[in-house]
Amino acid sequence: MGFDVVEKRRISKSYRIKEIDSQLIYYRTREEAKLISEARKNGVSVPIIFDVDQEKGIIIMEYLKGKRIKDIFNKIGEEERANICKKIGISIGRLHKNNLIHGDITTSNMIYQEGKIHFIDFGLGEINSEIEAKGVDLHVLMEAIESAHSKFSNFFKYVLDGYKSEYMEEAGSVIKKIDEIVKRGRYR
Amino acid sequence: MLCLGIEGTAHSIGIGIVKDLKNKCQVISNLIKTYHPKQGGIHPREAANHHANHIADLIKQSVKKANIDFSEIDLISFSKGPGLGPCLRTAATAARALSLSLKKPIIGVNHCVAHLEIGRGTVERCEDPVLLYTSGANTQIIAFAEGRYRVFGETLDIGIGNCLDKFGRGIGLEFPSGPKIEELALKGSKYLQLPYSIKGMDIAFSGLLTAAEQYHKKGEKIEDICYSIQETTFAALTEVTERAMAHTEKNQVLLGGGVAANKRLREMVEIMAKERDASFFVPDKLLCIDNGAMIAWLGVLMYESGIRMNVENSFIDQRFRTDMVDVTWRE
């Protein structure tokens, strides 16, 4: 098939004690591999996984040649940006419909390749059916857009449009939850 | 330019006098008086009464210590927010009175931004850092991006200092509990598993607090619980700071806030910085905690960049967010 592969290795951080370090590495590697395969099954673009070693914290996966959304987001035209946001929303809706929580949805963790948006870095994710978890997941992206793409923070609404179209059942309650999470934060 | 700054967002009232020295900050005097509740946490009105009782004396002492005359002061700066309403109003009232009686301009500044600017102003080579700001009420990861100080990560529930204080109060430690917990943690060695809650670059502590209290009820050694709380919360804080550095592509990290006094937190962030070839900075302890000098310094930066206020619009703002400040003094 001729795939380029990449080895993702979680490295030990010497600032944290062994007990925390090894547990985080093991758990995140396992969750990431699991969530990526689940996402693929449910039609979300993600890299193909070839091998996993939880003890060593290694995942061998397909190398994506595209560009990070973060790097193109501020440069593209209005229409394309809105379009990309909608696609992002549809993918997140698909994840959430299947109770897959990404945990770190930022524009750094999406690769744009051949018109498709691939999601990477599921290490902080989990499988969770609660509205709260889904709300927090979207809230992370909202903040990421506000801080890294502040001029275009109003584009988050297109993400929600895509999300609603894909996940009609619960999108309303999740979006309501985002407001609640914002208000729960300090100085809101 | 000489500026007198009044800090009064929470439990401390601080008066600082600073001088602008070629874009670096020279602290001439910096006096702080802290309210200690007899029991429980900070009572906003009692804290404000404490500040009102001490503020006039503290201003006089600060001017005396700076060895200047009141007439030499060019600008009065005060903490506009965020913070506790009664405390903010007390500090602002004093600032207005000074401004009117000395006939000198007044300026209200953002407390969180002041924590970052005092680092840039007083620490050599600290130019464009990611700030890990940890105090009782605040836990934010702040960096400059697209013309503003933006919050890249923050607590979703309570501040780290508040988490430590609440746990401390439950086991009978006095306020603030952080220093005592740090001492106890040194004697702990068994790691008790606690929730490690990171959402993107945000962080949450309330689940961990509950779990730690459960360990206490079950009779686990208090030293081990303190050790585990510190190791878990600080590792999570260090991790989100590192994520923010990677995200913003910055290679300097700065600590600020009362919890920055903790040696273990400093050590962790320093190791993280070293491992990614970044510089690690922490201001003098008196400039890390809530203090008047940082308020004065941010006042200078704002005033010199052309921002003007007058007594009529010198409002306070309890919910003054970091990213609401238009940063006119930086490129």
Contact between chains at A186 and B82 (C-beta distance less than 8 A) = yes
pLDDT tens per residue, range B244-297: 999 899 999 999 999 999 999 999 999 999 999 999 999 999 999 999 999 999
**Residue closest to B87 by CA, chosen among B121, B49, B134:** B49
Domains of chain A: 5-62 (3.30.200.20), 67-184 (1.10.510.10)
**Residue closest to A120 by CA, chosen among A69, A186, A53:** A69
pLDDT greater than 80 at residue B109: yes
In this structure, how many other beta carbons lie within 10 angstroms of the beta carbon of residue A101?
24
pLDDT tens per residue, range B27-86: 999 999 999 988 878 899 999 999 999 999 999 999 999 999 999 999 999 999 999 999
Kindly state the average pLDDT of the residues A19-25: 97
Contact between chains at B238 and A15 (C-beta distance less than 8 A) = yes
Tally C-beta pairs within 8 A across A and B.
90
Cα separation, B73 vs A139, in Å, equals: 46
Question: How close, in Å, is residue A1 to chain B by CA atoms?
Answer: 33
Task: Return the pLDDT at B69.
Answer: 97
Domains of chain B: 2-116+289-324 (3.30.420.40), 126-282 (3.30.420.40)
CA distances from B230 to A44, A179, B209 (A): 38, 31, 11
- Alpha-carbon torsion, ordered B234, B241, B206, A89, to 10 deg: -150
Contact between chains at A187 and B239 (C-beta distance less than 8 A) = no
Cβ neighbours of B191 in A, within 8 Å: 17, 19-20
Give the nearest partner residue to B247 out of A16, A108, A150, using CB atoms: A108
Kindly state the average pLDDT of the residues B128-135: 97
Give the nearest partner residue to B320 out of A15, A24, A187, using CB atoms: A187
Cβ neighbours of A15 in B, within 8 Å: 235, 238, 267-269, 271-272, 275
Q: How confident is the model at residue A1 (pLDDT cuts 50, 70, 90)?
A: low
Contact between chains at B318 and A187 (C-beta distance less than 8 A) = yes
Tell how strand B252-256 and strand B130-134 pair up.
parallel
Tell me whether residue A4 is one of the annotated catalytic residues.
Answer: no
What is the average pLDDT value for chain B, to the nearest integer? 96
Contact between chains at B200 and A108 (C-beta distance less than 8 A) = no
Q: Please name every residue paired with B5 in a beta bridge, in sequence order, or none if there are none.
A: B16, B77
Which residue on chain B is closest to A146 by alpha carbon? B150
Cα separation, B6 vs B59, in Å, equals: 9
Kindly state the average pLDDT of the residues B110-129: 97
Task: Return the pLDDT at B331.
Answer: 82
Rounded to two decimals, the pTM is 0.92
